[in-house]
Structure formats: structure tokens, C-alpha cells
Amino acid sequence: RAEGDLAGVRVLVTAGGTREPIDPVRYLGNRSSGKQGVAIAAAAADRGAEVVLLAANIDGAVLAEVTGDPAIRVVPVNTTAELDSTAHAAAKGARVVVMAAAVADYRVADVADQKMRKEDLTGGAPTLTLVENPDILVSLVRDRQDDQVIVGFAAETVDSEDELLERGRRKLARKGVDLLAVNAVGWSEGFESADNDVRVLNFDGDIVAAVAGSKREVADALLDAVGDELDQTES
Ligand code: C5P
């Protein structure tokens, strides 16, 4: 399969990591490079899909792989709130949604409108109060369009393969997605690197793909699984 199997299919991919402002010059962020999501967007376009890529704080060098591709519309986003609204708008016309972005679970409650200055902080180190962000994936599943295939990601720090799968299956149930790509992350694993080692679970928790390789190879294995889901929703 692969070649042209997503011809004309609209695919929404989110990638990168959201940032939450603390003040005009500082933010809370995460180490997601966006490479896996960008590889999925590129692979989907090569299979004929029309892709919208919501790029959360992705380096120009990483995005270079997809800029100029007429089949991929890149929309830059920054905060979780921005990703939330753009993802919901873009999901309306999408047959496939792949939520590869690392989304901040919390944001800063009161964002300072001036730079926080050490000399102004008389009480010593400041305390940041955080509030929970909405779970975008859960709300996309709740608002799911007819026949839409929704894919989530789970990056976990784990001690074993069993723990990875167990956490993945629990997350699958919580989020209600059709497919969940799970991978182990750590100080030197998963984020930022060129390679990835992923298991793809279906709604029932069965492993439908297991692939260790370049992020492009992982992207193609994931899209094979997406293709199977599309075939099922069509029949
Ligand atoms: O719960 P966890 O963050 O591990 O879930 C990961 C999946 O959920 C990813 O697909 C991520 O894009 C999505 N997510 C989200 N909104 C959040 C947190 C995670 O859409 N607030």
C-alpha cells in the first residue's frame, strides 16, 4: 500500500510543543522538536493527502522539510489555547486527525504584563500558580466528525515495555482515540532525536504496528494503520 492511498484525504497534523507565557519574555515549554509530526505531514502528503500542519514552536530547520510543499499548509501556533482553537477549526474539514504535538498540561494563572524583575521581588523566589489546560484531544474526540479517524500520541518515561503498553492502554481508554502511538521518552530518548521506537495501539488496545526507525519510517507505519482504519470506516 502507501503510494497514493491517501489521495484527496484531508489530514490535520499537530506537531511541536506548546508554550505557556510567564511574562513577555519567559515561558514554560517542553522539549518536543516537532520532527515526528513533521515527518507524518510529509509522509501523508507523499501519499496524496491534503495536509494542514499546526506547528507549535518548531524550528525553521525542522519545518524546512515541508515548506514549499503545495499539499501542506503550515499554520504556526504558540500556546495551548491557540492550538486548541485552530485544531478545532481545522478538524472540521479533516478526515484524519493526528495529534502529535506535546501539549502543556498546565498554564500560568496570572501572566505578568511586564517582565518580572528580580529587584522587584522583595519576598525572594516567586511562586508560579498553574491552572489546568483543556485536553484538546479529548475534546476533538467529543466533537468528532462523521467517519473521522483520530490518532493520539503518548510519550512516557517508563522502566519496561510492559509498563509502556499498560500506560498506553490506559491512555487509550481515557482519550477514546482510534489509534494511539506510544513511545518511551527520557533524557536522551524520543524527543529531539532523529529516530523513534513506537508501538501503535488500536481502540481495543491491540498492537497494530511496532516500528523502530527513522521518524519517517514511523510515520509511514502509522499511516498504514490509519489507512486500515479508513478502510473500516468506509465499509
Ligand atoms: O495525557 P498525555 O499528555 O500524555 O496525552 C498525549 C496526547 O494527548 C497527545 O496526542 C497530545 O497531543 C494530547 N494532548 C492534548 N491536550 C492536552 C494534553 C495532551 O490534546 N492538554
Active site residue 30: yes
Q: What was the ipTM of the complex prediction?
A: 0.96
Q: How many residues does the chain have?
A: 235
For ligand 1, atom 9, the nearest C-alpha belongs to 153
3-state SS assignment for residue 228? helix
* Ligand-binding site membership of 105 (annotated): yes
Q: What is the pTM of this model?
A: 0.95
* Residue 1 scores a pLDDT above 70: no
Q: How far apart are CA 15 and CA 37, in angstroms?
A: 5
C-alpha cell at 39: 515527518
Q: In angstroms, how far is CA 165 from the centroid of its own chain? A: 19
Residue 69 scores a pLDDT above 50:
yes
Q: What is the dihedral of CA 130, 91, 143, 35, to 10 degrees?
A: -50
Q: Domain 10-234 maps to which CATH number in 2.40.50.100, 3.40.50.10300, 3.20.190.10, 3.40.50.2000?
A: 3.40.50.10300
Residue 168 identity (one-letter amino acid): G
Instruction: Name every protein residue with a CB atom under 6 angstroms from any ligand 1 atom.
Output: 99, 101, 103, 105, 133, 135-137, 152-154, 171
Which set of grid coordinates corresponds to residue 216? 519517517
Q: What is the mean pLDDT of the chain?
A: 94
CB 164 within 8 A of CB 158: yes
In this predicted structure, what is the pLDDT of residue 189? 72
What does 21-44 look like in DSSP terms, one character per residue?
EEETTEEE-----SHHHHHHHHHH
Average pLDDT over residues 106-121: 94
